[in-house]
Amino acid sequence: MAAFEELKGRVAVVTGAAQGIGRATATTLAAHGMAVVVVDLNDARGGMVVREIEQAGGRATYVHADVGTAAGCHAMVDTAVQGFGGVYALVNNARWHPHVPLTEIVESDWDRSQAVLLKSHYLASKYAIPHMIAGGGGAIVGISSVHAIQVTDNEASYEAAKAGINALMRSIACAYGPQNIRANAIMPGGIVTDVKQSAWETNLEQQALTRLQNPIGRPGFAQDIANAVLFLVSDLASFVTGESLVVDGGMSIQLAGVATHKALAWERAGRPGA
């Protein structure tokens, strides 16, 4: 059987799918024959993704849903079941979080960020898993981040949630592996998405710094993450579960001092390439 041939006719639910990693994931899964439920709050962009998939010959539908709520997650899973007959793959990707110091985070913003970033993974899985079991199995992918293990300033709520995603995927993998359900996390590094593309192309300094920070020498793109999702939901990954797959061009394997030394040398050399 050709690679990914088994995905044809299966159903995927992708949250945060109106742009960026979610959009790339939705279009990639659809290109390999999956029917895709595109979930977002941005109706205009979400509709564009559905049309893009349909114009390429694929099947998709859009659901306006707040994934931080039980009602929103139930609605998107119900749409997949009623519209396409079930759920095989669940890709939780939606995000929202404040960029302020911990002591300045308003409690309601903390709660909202945890609802979107982490609680949504629990709720979506809760509603999808029974249908996966009924269908003979499935695959859950949580989009985490290297921020789950490496931290920076003003990202406390984001980093706490991303670490939680990794643990939740391991828990689901253990609990539902006997029902042929696999669960894995993907930990992207710095990713240039469609909404960041133009800014990236004109920021020569950031491009030069990225070449120093990533051994591969380039940034990640949304398609890099979509390709990892494709692998994890496919039968090629049938023996992979409970893992947190780092997709960051090697950024996180360097000692911090190595990257700093490179950056300082680049600064002393007059910032070549910037």
Q: 91: closest CA among 21, 157, 159?
A: 21
Who wins on pLDDT, 158 or 194?
158
Per-residue confidence at 255, pLDDT binned at 50, 70, 90?
Answer: low
The answer to whether residue 267 scores a pLDDT higher than 70 is no
- Give the 3-state secondary structure of the chain: CCCCHHHCCCEEEEECCCCHHHHHHHHHHHHCCCEEEEEECCHHHHHHHHHHHHHCCCCEEEEECCCCCHHHHHHHHHHHHHHHCCCCEEEECCCCCCCCCHHHCCHHHHHHHHHHHHHHHHHHHHHHHHHHHHCCCEEEEEECCHHHCCCCCCCHHHHHHHHHHHHHHHHHHHHHHHHCEEEEEEEECCEECCCCHHHHHHCHHHHHHHHHHCCCCCCEEHHHHHHHHHHHHCHHHCCCCCCEEEECCCHHHCCHHHHHHHHHHHHHCCCCCC
Q: Would you call 158 a catalytic residue per the annotation?
A: yes
Using one digit for the tens of pLDDT, what is the confidence trace for 121-171? 999 999 999 999 999 999 999 999 998 888 888 888 889 999 999 999 999
The answer to whether residue 90 scores a pLDDT higher than 90 is yes
Task: Give pLDDT, residue 1.
Answer: 60
69-97 mean pLDDT: 96
Amino acid at position 131, single letter:
H
Who wins on pLDDT, 111 or 13?
13
Is the dihedral angle over the CA atoms 251, 252, 254, 257 positive or is it negative?
positive
Domain 5-194+219-250 is found in CATH 1.10.357.10: no
Which token pair is 213?
């920070």
Task: Give pLDDT, residue 258.
Answer: 56
Q: What is the percent of the chain with per-residue pLDDT over 90, rounded to a whole number?
A: 67
> What length is written for the chain?
274
Task: Give pLDDT, residue 217.
Answer: 82
241-262 mean pLDDT: 80
The answer to whether residue 66 scores a pLDDT higher than 80 is yes
The answer to whether residue 69 scores a pLDDT higher than 70 is yes
Task: Give pLDDT, residue 106.
Answer: 92
**Catalytic one among 88, 122, 158, 176?**
158
Average pLDDT over the chain, rounded to an integer: 90
59-78 mean pLDDT: 98
Q: Are 49 and 26 in contact (CB under 8 A)?
A: yes
The answer to whether residue 201 scores a pLDDT higher than 70 is no
